[in-house]
Chains A and B, each alone.
Chain A
Amino acid sequence: MSGKPKLHYINGRGRMETIRWLLAAAGVEFEEVYVETRDDLLRLQNSGVLMFQQVPMVEMDGMKLVQSRAICNYISAKHNLYGKDLKERVLYCINATSALKDHGKDFLVGNQLSRADVQLLEIILMAEEVKPDILAKFPVLQSFKARTSNIPTIKKFLQPGSPRKPPFDEKELPKVLKIFY
């Protein structure tokens, strides 16, 4: 037993990608078990390891965690990516540009890296895949993006060969449909 978290999902971003980002940002190595066929999913469902018969599922710390939000909450809190108190945690829904501008700091909340920063970077990069100049009017977010991408654990995750998944390839659609429907 390796003791590393084990991620169960398709080999693609979907609802698991944010979890991959968080684990990577926290410097936690993880394994992945891919659901490639409908039989793979059925096997998981029949074995009783999926609380609501759904993936994502992450095996860690003796638990079989499901529901992406619950999983993200657990990882964030465990690895101190969640702000130091309740009020900081609430601010995780904050508007990024005004937050960064208003308090003039490098991070969205509490002046240290948190899940909000990691998720914001994830969203920025995904949005740029759709529209490369989407940050044109947001200089503060541009420097946020550069700074956050350079954090060593995140920089590593952004390099080829990392567990980061590419954008969805439409050629994969028939295969994914067959798994879930």
Chain B
Amino acid sequence: RTLFSIFAFQFEEDFIETKEDLEKLRNDGSLLFQQVPMVEMDGMKMVQTRAILSYIAAKHNLYGKDLKERAWIDMYVEGTTDLMGMIMYLPFQTAEVKEKNLALIIERAKNRYFPVYEKALKDHGHDYLVGNKLSWADIHLLEAILMAEECQADILSAFPLLQAFKGRISNIPTIKKFLQPGSQRKPPMDEKSVARVRAIFNF
């Protein structure tokens, strides 16, 4: 959704609210590997988050100008994917496990991931991570920063360039709009949503 936001793309959402909703999609044959997310666009029923994101990024010139720039974007995106992947599961963990993982997430964010992006911005002095031009990597990093701040509000305190980066990218008009109330951006999971998701996916 964040990637679509950059273009002020209109997109519709078909929410799965119950187990039956998911069964129906599966029985329809709409889900290649019986899993969501699934995005219908350009005549395709696309599945697999990374495939969907790669398609959108490449289609809209957010994937660098050549193979090497694309490699850098891929590397950066994989890092933010790993970090956000850890955060995504927190709502589903028991209190004890969650506390441990939260500490790990904060440690990794500050020691493994954010230093890489801070250094990248410092080394080339540009506004964007790759090729002096907005790319998928920048949008993904903003999303990761915002999610990490939900874990610890001052998590960027040691990263001045990332703070400036966050301000800059958040101010891109289409992204600014997505960050405002009433947009299709989803909030963190609350207990009711967790219960509903557990019921839908059976875990």
Q: Which residues of A contact B (CB under 8 A)?
A: 51-53, 61, 63, 65-67, 69-70, 73-74, 77-78, 86-87, 89-90, 92-95
Q: Give bound CA distance, A63 to B72, whole Å.
A: 9
Q: A52-B112, A67-B78, A87-B44 are in contact. List 4 more A-B contacts (CB 8 A).
A: A63-B71, A67-B74, A90-B51, A94-B32
Of B52-60, B122-130, B148-156, B194-202, the stretch lying at the interface with chain A is B52-60
Q: Give bound CA distance, A89 to B116, whole Å.
A: 29
Q: Known: A51-B79, A70-B78, A77-B67. Is A89-B55 also a contact (CB below 8 A)?
A: yes
Contact among B33, B59, B67, B70 with A93 in the assembled complex (CB-CB below 8 Å): B33
Q: Give bound CA distance, A172 to B59, whole Å.
A: 45
Chain B residues contacting A70 (CB-CB under 8 Å) are 71, 74-75, 77-78
Q: Give bound CA distance, A70 to B80, whole Å.
A: 13
Q: Give bound CA distance, A90 to B75, whole Å.
A: 19
Question: Are B70's CB and A73's CB within 8 A?
Answer: yes
Chain B residues contacting A69 (CB-CB under 8 Å) are 50, 74, 78
Q: Known: A69-B78, A86-B55, A90-B44. Is A74-B112 also a contact (CB below 8 A)?
A: no
Query: Contact residue range for chain B?
Result: 20 to 34
Q: Give bound CA distance, A142 to B65, whole Å.
A: 40
- How many residue pairs link A and B with beta carbons under 8 A? The number is 62
Q: Which of B48, B75, B77 has the most CB of A within 10 A?
A: B75
Q: Which residue of A lies closest to B78 (CB)?
A: A67
**13 pairs, CB–CB < 8 Å, chain A vs chain B:** A52-B79, A61-B68, A66-B75, A66-B78, A67-B79, A70-B71, A70-B75, A70-B78, A74-B67, A87-B44, A90-B51, A90-B52, A95-B33
Q: Give bound CA distance, A89 to B46, whole Å.
A: 11
Kindly state whether residue B82 has any CB partner on chain A within 8 Å. yes
Q: Give bound CA distance, A94 to B32, whole Å.
A: 7
The 4 lowest CB-CB distance pairs between A and B, nearest first, are A70-B74, A67-B78, A74-B71, A93-B48
Q: Give bound CA distance, A77 to B113, whole Å.
A: 26
Chain B residues contacting A52 (CB-CB under 8 Å) are 79, 82, 112-113, 116
Chain A residues contacting B44 (CB-CB under 8 Å) are 87, 90
Q: Give bound CA distance, A78 to B71, whole Å.
A: 11
